Amino acid sequence: MIYPIVKYGERVLEAPAEPVTVFDKELKKLVADMFETMYAANGVGLGAPQIGIPKRLSVIDVTVGEKPDGKLVLANPVIVSKEGRVAHDEGCLSLPDFRASTPRPERVTVRAQDTDGKEFVISGEGLLARALCHEIDHLNGKLFIQHLSMLKRDSIKRKVRRLMKAGQW
Ligand code: NI
HEC assignment per residue over the chain: CCCCCCCCCCHHHHCCCECCCCCCHHHHHHHHHHHHHHHHCCCCEEEHHHHCCCECEEEECCCCCCCHHHCEEEEEEEEEEEECCEEEEEECCCCCCCEEEEEECCEEEEEEECCCCCEEEEEEECHHHHHHHHHHHHHCCCCHHHHCCHHHHHHHHHHHHHHHHCCCC
CA of 65 to the centre of ligand 1 (A): 18
With a cut of 70, which residues of the chain have pLDDT below it? Answer: none
Write down the pLDDT at residue 64. Answer: 83
| Residue 141 burial class via C-beta count within 10 angstroms: exposed 0-12, middle 13-18, buried 19 and up | middle
Question: Superfamily assignment of 11-164 in CATH?
Answer: Peptide deformylase (3.90.45.10)
Query: Among the options 66, 83, 125, 135, which is catalytic?
Result: 135
Q: Please classify residue 92 by burial: count the beta carbons closer than 10 Å to its beta carbon, then call 0-12 exposed, 13-18 middle and 19+ buried.
A: buried
pLDDT, residue 24, reads: 98
What is the Å distance from ligand 1's center to 139 Cα? 10
Instruction: Convert the pLDDT of each residue in 28-75 to its tens digit.
Output: 999 999 999 999 999 999 999 999 999 999 999 999 888 888 899 999
Residue 96: predicted pLDDT: 96
CA of 160 to the centre of ligand 1 (A): 16
46 alpha carbon – ligand 1 mean position (Å)? 6
pLDDT for res 15? 97
d(CA 16, CA 86): 26
Give me the pLDDT at residue 139, please.
Answer: 98
Catalytic residue at 135? yes
pLDDT at 72: 97
